[in-house]
Structure 1
């Protein structure tokens, strides 16, 4: 008899009997070979699984076999399938994308007493079907306005149009950031003449796409978080370079002015831990044959003026842009068949044929829905156990005079990313301003009264030689982060697809993945898409309060490493 992992005592006999009964009633067919499956079963009286007993069963699926999916009555079950496709399951419905719906041979619910919720987590996604017209959590706008948008001239901004009335479309894309714009543009190429609706809750360019630092690094080794190695790192680099090439072609063909500067960037460290990490980075670059230039202390002072920096290298693999102008230019040049509606937050989502998206009293009916809304994806019932939300903060100075600009080196523009994951990201801008990005918060945006003094303090420490450390604009931006850096990508349910998990690589990564998601929908296979299906498997993240504890622990560990 299975043993309880927590206490080593036999599992409840009645529960096991009902487990065996339902095992014969619910079956799943798949074409995959030797897929391992673990079922974690929590009894009805033990609703706090992290402190109570757990019964674990190890099961296997053989090639083309009918597999019994098991569940206790009055229990919630989490089934994690390894090396397979995305699943959507509740107690009455079971299906796998790219496969036929499973046969669900149900007995009498009253006889089985099935008051359980069955969810299957697969390739890093939890499937929970939204229920009813009020299933979407209310959207909360940012407390601040992006400085990138504020410094744009009026003629450079994309026109905002809200959704009015009802519309019928072939595709509805939720989220008008880099992923959503790329998906909509690519879908228009595959389905000319079919109407595509692109929705965003904020004004054009005010989402995360218009709040980044504008770095487009095309090699994974040079990023702040470069955890992966081997084939997965090669795939990530291929994704970044694919996004860069597609953006370059799109911008050139449509004459989008976004301050495109192919000038590389600097990687710096200010601590002993950072110096060690920089040495490891250079060893990886040497192994890949990637060129770089190491700076002396005099070079650091002359080129970027950072008094605290002790080590720095210049790397050629980076393009700098004005992100708000880039996303607004991409929105303004979409094909006519793509209808863009901003300031149009989706507050209702009904699954059907067609699906219905509600925006206040207005609605859109679409045959297929694509969610490219990153941090708000869990609002629609998808990805909540595979991603978390982090806010980062930036300040932008007023225009600086020649004397102050000279303290940042002789070049007209440059960008710096830190080796240390908690270090500041900085840019000297062609608009005669300076961008300073530092600090983060988990789950919630911090108020301006907390953020502005912190940024000013960090700025003064990094550049004490300046006369003033005031900012004209201060804002925050949300990132969707996954545990292992892999994106949420693919089919969630019938005619529902999603993309999330930018992991601080929003411009290039989400552009490439948005394009690939459209190709997935259109069945346009490619080696890069095949690799994306293979590696887009974000790991499960435990729920609260363990999630907050894990975030706090990791931040404390990084701070300690920097102090030491």
Structure 2
């Protein structure tokens, strides 16, 4: 198979998480011709986990991990820093209780794996067992919370219903009328975490950055040839951990929806600014209404506001500077609704990140064709799913078996087909606008 006109990542250069890190050393760029036992494309949470697990299972094998950008610059370094243990969003409402229990096991295995690596390799990434608030502003949000409480009781998981006054002593705002606190979520600095994981890769993994893959083709011997800017790698085993970009290689075409969500953050707040409202550090809140606003206070006291979604068929090229300016203004409005005393505190960064969702909220895991395997479509929960999914994809490729591999095969499937363009684009834009209108009181 040949691939043509591959669209590569084109992320903005205003990601606060990445900008906060020290400048990385010079990258190893793929040059010349190579052979490898395994090639993993995409060095986010999934690719890093896949490469690490392959190295553990096949310590004598040569493993190449290739990314179009620097590690941490892409989607894995652009999320809001939640590693959520619970089935998230639509998955929590799945009619099969077994799916939810297996997702719990998978997510918690991911958290355990990340924590082990962080401890073993001393990765400085603001890792924190802080739990998560799910917050409601008005009646619409409280209605979602009532359903969430019911789902948590059905799941048999612990939670605490927190009313406005108690909540405000943590968040420093009376904006939220109610929240549900769940204890199993972890918070982190995503760009720092993925860069730390990359530095700690086993010795038989070679990482190549700034090496965008320009094509895939099958050689005469039946092996796959990965082409990247004049260089090439021949392999019998190709793992695509490329999320939305999987479709650029000719797979899962018309089954993935490219969406970008946006965040802004402030400089670190001063002691006086923290004290004025009573806001504390190191917590995270996701909206009860999925189209609402995510808010985080980092360990170093930066306030993050995340909302606004955009259909991005050309990924970063779909988003203009003018659009990002409008997003930033929207974020500022959301911030001042919650923290009016911070009117003199501006955002220092506003960034977006692309990810894949599917219309049936189904994740893909498994074989695409002989020699090609993929983990794709994280549906907005990439840190936990990518970590455990990448490791399990490696196990599957080498013919392994485990209870977690059985779990992920049980909960995965085929993303449903999308309608053709321009119907798809119009439908997604209309749905996003409708959701934003309905949720305007929760923003």
TM-score by length of 1: 0.73
What is the aligned partner in structure 1 of residue 280 from structure 2? 411
Equivalenced residue count is 430
Distance 1:174 1:480, change over 3 A: same
What is the aligned partner in structure 2 of residue 528 from structure 1? 404
1:238 Cα shift?
A: 2.0
In the alignment, structure 1 residue 204 sits paired with structure 2 residue 71: yes
RMSD value, Cα: 2.0
Higher-RCO chain (CA-CA 8 Å, sequence separation at least 6): 2
Q: Distance in 1 between matches of 2:115 and 2:365?
A: 24
1:560 Cα shift?
A: 4.8
Give 3-state SS (helix, strand or coil) of 1:412's partner: coil
1:318-358, Cα deviation, whole Å (9 max, x unpaired): 11011111100100000111000111100121123321111
Q: Distance in 2 between matches of 1:209 and 1:302?
A: 31
Q: Give 1 or 2: higher helix fraction.
A: 2
What is the aligned partner in structure 2 of residue 539 from structure 1? 416
Choose from 128, 133, 147 the match for 1:280: 147
Give 3-state SS (helix, strand or coil) of 1:420's partner: coil
In the alignment, structure 1 residue 552 sits paired with structure 2 residue 407: no
Q: Distance in 1 between matches of 2:298 and 2:305?
A: 11
In the alignment, structure 1 residue 483 sits paired with structure 2 residue 359: yes
Q: Distance in 2 between matches of 1:542 and 1:233?
A: 29
Larger Rg: 1
CA contact (8 A) 2:99 2:410 kept: no
What is the aligned partner in structure 2 of residue 289 from structure 1? 156
Q: Distance in 1 between matches of 2:365 and 2:306?
A: 28
Structure 1 regions of 5+ residues with no counterpart? 1-129
What is the aligned partner in structure 2 of residue 386 from structure 1? 255
What is the aligned partner in structure 1 of residue 84 from structure 2? 217
CA contact (8 A) 1:142 1:445 kept: no
CA contact (8 A) 1:173 1:197 kept: yes
Q: Distance in 2 between matches of 1:318 and 1:409?
A: 23
What is the aligned partner in structure 1 of residue 215 from structure 2? 348
In the alignment, structure 1 residue 464 sits paired with structure 2 residue 331: no
What is the aligned partner in structure 1 of residue 315 from structure 2? none
CA contact (8 A) 1:169 1:197 kept: yes
What is the aligned partner in structure 1 of residue 319 from structure 2? 445
1:465 Cα shift?
A: 2.6
What is the aligned partner in structure 2 of residue 227 from structure 1? 93
Give 3-state SS (helix, strand or coil) of 1:329's partner: helix
What is the aligned partner in structure 2 of residue 303 from structure 1? 170
What is the aligned partner in structure 2 of residue 434 from structure 1? 303
Q: Distance in 2 between matches of 1:313 and 1:468?
A: 31
Q: Distance in 2 between matches of 1:408 and 1:490?
A: 49
What is the aligned partner in structure 2 of residue 362 from structure 1? 231
1:166-188, Cα deviation, whole Å (9 max, x unpaired): 22111111000000000001111
Q: Distance in 1 between matches of 2:346 and 2:272?
A: 16
Distance 1:462 1:562, change over 3 A: same
Choose from 369, 372, 376 the match for 1:496: 372
Distance 1:289 1:158, change over 3 A: farther
1:312 Cα shift?
A: 1.3
Give 3-state SS (helix, strand or coil) of 1:465's partner: helix
CA contact (8 A) 1:391 1:445 kept: no
Q: Distance in 1 between matches of 2:5 and 2:51?
A: 23
Distance 1:326 1:378, change over 3 A: same
1:394 Cα shift?
A: 0.8
Greater mean deviation of Cα atoms: 262-271 or 305-314: 305-314
CA contact (8 A) 1:174 1:199 kept: yes
What is the aligned partner in structure 2 of residue 338 from structure 1? 205
What is the aligned partner in structure 2 of residue 316 from structure 1? 183
Q: Distance in 1 between matches of 2:353 and 2:130?
A: 25
Q: Distance in 1 between matches of 2:330 and 2:435?
A: 18
CA contact (8 A) 1:225 1:421 kept: no
CA contact (8 A) 2:93 2:151 kept: no
Distance 1:284 1:449, change over 3 A: closer
What is the aligned partner in structure 2 of residue 63 from structure 1? none
1:137-180, Cα deviation, whole Å (9 max, x unpaired): 131411233210111234xx475221122221111110000000
